[in-house]
């Protein structure tokens, strides 16, 4: 467990450093990670120069009410869907007034949800250059899935920052 936390910490330091270097800000929108992604980002000394805030929208109705995820999208596909992850990241970016939004949604277990298997996760990063989304098929217990989600989301964020030439 310590090495996983260290890995998330390393990735968070790199991501925050890149954001600060570019003069960008970030907001998070989380479901299955319940604020752990925001905690990883804010564990970095000086993170306040880049991190503006986070929204934990664990309940599906809050994804629509607070983050602006379209109701019809949630009705058609449920909360665990790539378009929902995209809308969450875009909603966080818009509502918290940042240059980048990052999101997590999925099933951490122990049981399937909405007909989706444990370990099905979607992450997204929305920025000036567009929105990148990834599907993850994770294994392990609830904590392992949440930790792997955070690490993957931070990795996606770092890649998106580096690839964005704007």
Q: What is the pLDDT of residues 87-142, one digit of tens each?
A: 999 999 999 999 999 999 999 999 999 999 999 999 999 999 999 999 999 999 99
Query: Over 70: is that where the pLDDT of 1 sits?
Result: no
Distance of CA 123 to the CA centre of its chain: 5
Residue 62 to residues 2, 55, 91, Cα–Cα distance (Å): 33, 10, 12
Average of per-residue pLDDT across 2-31: 91
Other Cβ atoms within 10 Å of 65 Cβ, number: 12
pLDDT at residue 2 above 70?
no
pLDDT of residue 6: 84
Sorted by sequence, the CB contacts under 8 Å of residue 46 that are 6+ apart come out as 16, 20
Contact 149, 109 (CB under 8 A): no
Look up the pTM and report it.
Answer: 0.95
Average pLDDT score, the chain: 95
In CATH, which superfamily holds the domain spanning 2-163?
Answer: CinA-like (3.90.950.20)
* Residue 127 φ/ψ, nearest 5 degrees: -145, -170
Least confident interval from 1-5, 107-111, 123-127, 150-154: 1-5
Among positive and negative, which fits the CA dihedral 94, 97, 100, 103? negative
Distance between CA 87 and CA 110 in Å, rounded? 26
Give the pLDDT score at 144.
Answer: 97
Q: To which residue do tokens 């392990």 refer?
A: 140
106 token code pair: 């999925």
Confidence of residue 3 (pLDDT cuts 50, 70, 90): low
């Amino acid at each position: 467990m310590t090495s996983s936390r260290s890995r998330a910490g390393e990735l968070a330091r790199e991501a925050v450093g890149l954001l600060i270097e570019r003069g960008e800000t970030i907001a998070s929108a989380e479901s299955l990670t319940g604020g752990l992604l925001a905690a990883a980002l804010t564990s970095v000394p000086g993170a306040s120069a880049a991190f503006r805030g986070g929204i934990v929208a664990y309940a599906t109705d809050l994804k629509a009410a607070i983050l602006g995820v379209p109701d019809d999208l949630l009705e058609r596909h449920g909360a665990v869907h790539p378009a929902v992850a995209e809308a969450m990241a875009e909603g966080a970016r818009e509502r918290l007034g940042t240059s980048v939004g990052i999101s997590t949604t999925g099933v951490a277990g122990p049981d399937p949800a909405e007909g989706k298997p444990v370990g099905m996760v979607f992450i997204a990063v929305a920025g000036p250059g567009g929105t990148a989304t990834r599907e993850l098929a994770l294994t392990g217990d609830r904590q392992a899935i949440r930790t792997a989600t955070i690490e993957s989301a931070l990795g996606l964020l770092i890649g998106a920052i580096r690839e964005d030439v704007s």
